Amino acid sequence: MPHDPASLTPARLLQLFKSHPRLLIAPAIIGAVLAAASTLVTPRDWRAEQGLLVRSDAAGYAEQRLGKFTDLSEMKTVQETLLELARSQSVVTEVLQEIDGRAPSRQAIADFRDKLRFDPPGGAEFGKTEVFYLGFLDPDRDRAVRIVEALAERLDARLNELRDHKAASLVAEVQRSADVAREQLHQQIERLAEFESSVGADLIELRHLTTPNGGSSELGQTALAIDADRRRSAEARQRNEALLVELRAAIDDPARILATPDALLESQPALRRLKNGLVDSQLNVARTRGARTANHPFVRAARHAQEAVQAELIRELPAAIAGVELELEVALRREADLAAQLQRLRARSAGLASKRSGYAELVAGVEGQTGVLESSLRQLADAKAARAGANSASLLSPIDLVETGAHPVGPGRTATTAAGGLAGLLLGAVLVVVLHAPRPDVPTATAAPIQVTSHHSAPESRSDWPVGAPQEARTDWAADSWGGAAWGIEQPQGGATQTIGV
């Protein structure tokens, strides 16, 4: 394969560089000199930094460890707030005015923000640790140190001011909420007191109905006692009615009194004693007649005593009947009175039941508003504690004094000069290649005669023709490297092929 004399091989490049050493070395020298001069003119920045430790507010966080953040998002939020405070115009202006003794310009403030550094510890992510480093870049080493010290001091003061302002707004807001809650509680209490005064003596029973413990109330116990009295009175009335029937029957048949149970005669002690005396006299007559004759004086005396007791019993029956009737009348009146009392108690219970829902709603409103007021008062106490802490304590703690490195940041003078020389050397190599590299010789194009050739057997002798498309125009390219070009256009015309060369 022939070698192109215009191609650039590594050997030709090396020979080209040896042929033009001045053009290659002069830009390298100039670049090194310019880079060295730039290191003398352009000052290098010193980096001053100070490690700071941030903690959370201790006030209002009784359920966590004091000074510890509840989660990483809270710690990241605090550090982002510190970053924005450090870049704020007020803090930057105060720091520069303290260091320079004059009000800074807008450009000075912008440059300050560009040179400010706010970095986490090495290898950590911002907001994941409580430690961060506050740094600043400045050509003057002492000025960088003083700026970092002033910035840390102003950042702490500004953070405390922000905390105080935030706590003051919270105190005002929560105080307003507490006042509103207290006013609403007073309104609820007034409504409840008015309702309770309308209830009157049944207030205790109404309160008992609304208590969650439940149980038997005094009104319920009274109703049970009245109902028990009604049952006892009904039982006594039934006994007296049965006794009255027996006494009226005993007037015609005195012997029936002997069969009357003692339980019916409990209300008639005299009649019961006469009944027992009559039984005793009959027993005495029976015993006497069993030992003596019927005409014996003892038998007659016993019989006479029996007749006397029986006569006395008969005389006592009307008085006993009148007493039983009186007891029946009293029992009926007592039953009616007890029924009326029970009816009144039930009416009172129904009235209290109708008022129970309204009273329970009022009580729940007072209790709920009391809880709201207690919560507002707790929040108010926390806000006041946070405000007091903002004025007396700091959230930032310096880890150590401000430090600077042993050397300025960035590349040194030697590295800068070497980089400038290398850049110049590359520029010289480019210039050598552009100005002195060989170029290909391209001859001018001349018109060639047009030859028309008829090929009757062209398809069989042209193997590179596309199969299946004999009617399409074909173009063949032929050229040599850098020596010229020629086009051959073959256009099939029927059975012949016309070749046109240019």
Helix, strand, coil proportions of the chain in percent (round to 5)?
Answer: 65, 10, 25
What local confidence, expressed as pLDDT, does residue 186 receive?
92
- Look-up: residue for tokens 């950590």? 124
Report the C-alpha gap between 156 and 194 in whole angstroms.
Answer: 56
**Regions of the chain short of the pLDDT cut 70:** 1-7, 41, 57-71, 123, 212-217, 254-267, 270, 274, 390, 393, 439-502
Give the C-alpha distances (Å, rounded to integers) separating 395 from 86, 254, 390, 392: 15, 112, 9, 10
Helix (H, G, I), strand (E, B) or coil at 206: helix
Residue 166's pLDDT is what?
84
Name the strand (E) or helix (H) holding 80: helix 72-87
Secondary structure (3-state) at 241? helix
Structure-block tokens of residue 43: 């000052």
Three-state SS sequence of 87-137: HCHHHHHHHHHHHHCCCCCHHHHHHHHHHEEEECCCCCCCCCCCEEEEEEE
pLDDT value at residue 370: 92
Q: Which residues contact 349 (CB under 8 A, 6 or more apart)?
A: 205, 219, 220, 223
Distances (CA, A) of 169 to 90, 164, 179: 21, 9, 15
Q: What pLDDT score was predicted for residue 51?
A: 87
Question: What does the pLDDT read at residue 107?
Answer: 92
Q: What is the pLDDT of residue 77?
A: 83
**Parallel, antiparallel, or unpaired for β 403-404 and 46-54?**
antiparallel
Q: Rounded to two decimals, what is the model's pTM?
A: 0.50
**Integer Cα distance of 360 and 187 in angstroms:** 16
Q: CA-CA distance, 199 to 254, in Å (whole number)?
A: 61
In this structure, what are the phi and psi dihedrals at residue 37, rounded to the nearest 5 degrees?
A: -65, -35
One-letter amino acid of 403: E
Per-residue pLDDT, 76:
82
